[in-house]
Amino acid sequence: MNLLFKLLPEQATEYARQVDELYLFILAVSVFFTALFVFLMVYFTVKYRHKAGSTEKVEPPHEHYTPEMIGGGLLLALLMVMFFWGAKLYFKAQRPPADAMEILVTGKQWMWKIQHPSGKKEINTLHLPVGRAIKLNMTSEDVIHNFFIPAFRVKNDTVPGRYTQLWFKPDKIGTYHLFCTEYCGTEHSRMGGYVKVMSEEEYENWTSGGAGADETPVEAGARHFAELGCIACHGAISGALGPNLAGVYGKEVNFSDGSSLVRDDDYIRESILNPQAKLVAGYAPIMPTFQGQVSEEQLGHLIAYIKSLE
């Protein structure tokens, strides 16, 4: 019932409050112009209504371009305020702090698989500690999904074949909706659940407890690295056939064709699945592909492991 009287849902982050400010500004502008417009419509209709049998001639309008152009310019200025304000907040949403805690999210028809850095896994529920910056590293196993938390005012598509990110810093303990917001098939509307923001202490208990402490993604990644034989070429020994991976994440790498880029999650994923796509300068193209041998989940672990290497 209270939905009818509250303009917006609960605000569980500072960012949500800031987005709401902007929302209310646009709302105020909209209400103002709608009211003005409707008022003029009604007023002119009444004041200049047709009087049957009147012999008064209607004057054709005189075209005044200057006031119109000035009005258009003023409108554009107002719109640019909206644009810049929205862009500023958008930048914030695109730039997670470096110390954000990373949680892996994989969307698949029709559930969200989530794994915490402690290794703890969950489905359709996201437990979070209050007051900490959290970054979600997301992908999809099949079609495009979208991870949406209305109380945080953020969402992002999860796309198969690449990684997308979402970050927030919840500052209010509570339970909030989690929705999939990109149509993905029959059970699209059931693909969701809750975000549970809890105190730091409760989160620590939750994340380390439960039947059998799970491997952390980093530990799992280390295990895959050994099991799949990566260590044979990428072990840090002289004369190694593959580049040493210690400390490489986030640094620039040069390729044999002269191009270069900063190593990110997508690059690591591509190097595992399609190693010849970008060949590191100075190395022979002998790395085999692991397409079909690693799942999305394992890829996520391997990336977490490589990121952790110093």
Rounded distance between C-alpha atoms, residue 124 and residue 36, angstroms: 46
Q: Is 164 helix (H, G, I), strand (E, B) or coil?
A: strand
Q: Which residue, 72 or 131, has its beta carbon nearer to other proteins?
A: 72
Give the nearest distance from C-beta 177 to other proteins in angstroms: 6
Residue closer to other proteins (CB basis): 60 or 97: 60
For the four alpha carbons of 188, 118, 170 and 266, in that order, the dihedral sign comes to negative
- Cα(271)–Cα(279) distance, rounded to whole angstroms? 9
* Burial of residue 195, with CB atoms counted within 10 A of its CB: 0-12 exposed, 13-18 middle, 19 or more buried: buried
What's the closest the beta carbon of residue 245 comes to other proteins, in angstroms?
A: 20
Nearer to other proteins, 216 or 298 (CB): 298
Rounded CA separation 91/81 (Å): 15
Distance in Å, CB of 201 to other proteins, minimum = 29
Nearer to other proteins, 6 or 251 (CB): 6
CA angle 163, 168, 173 (to 5 degrees): 135
Minimum Å gap between C-beta 296 and other proteins is 11
CB 186 within 8 Å of CB 110: yes
What sign results for the dihedral spanned by CA atoms 288, 293, 294, 296?
Answer: positive
Going by C-alpha positions, the residue among 115, 152, 122, 170 that lies closest to residue 137 is 115
Residue 84, SS3 per DSSP: helix
**Between 114 and 149, CB nearer to other proteins:** 149
CB nearer to other proteins: give 187 or 227.
187
Dist CA 142 CA 139 (whole Å): 9
CB of 39 to other proteins, least distance (A): 10
Q: How far is CA 216 from CA 87, 163, 211, 223, 270, in A?
A: 36, 19, 14, 11, 23
Query: Could you tell me the smallest distance in angstroms from the CB atom of residue 205 to other proteins?
Result: 28
> What's the closest the beta carbon of residue 119 comes to other proteins, in angstroms?
27
121 or 278: whose CB is closer to other proteins? 278
Closest to other proteins by CB, 183 or 247: 183
Least distance CB 196 / other proteins (angstroms)? 16
Per-residue tokens: 1: 């019932």
8 Å CB contact between 142 and 7: no
Residue written as token pair 């110390």: 99
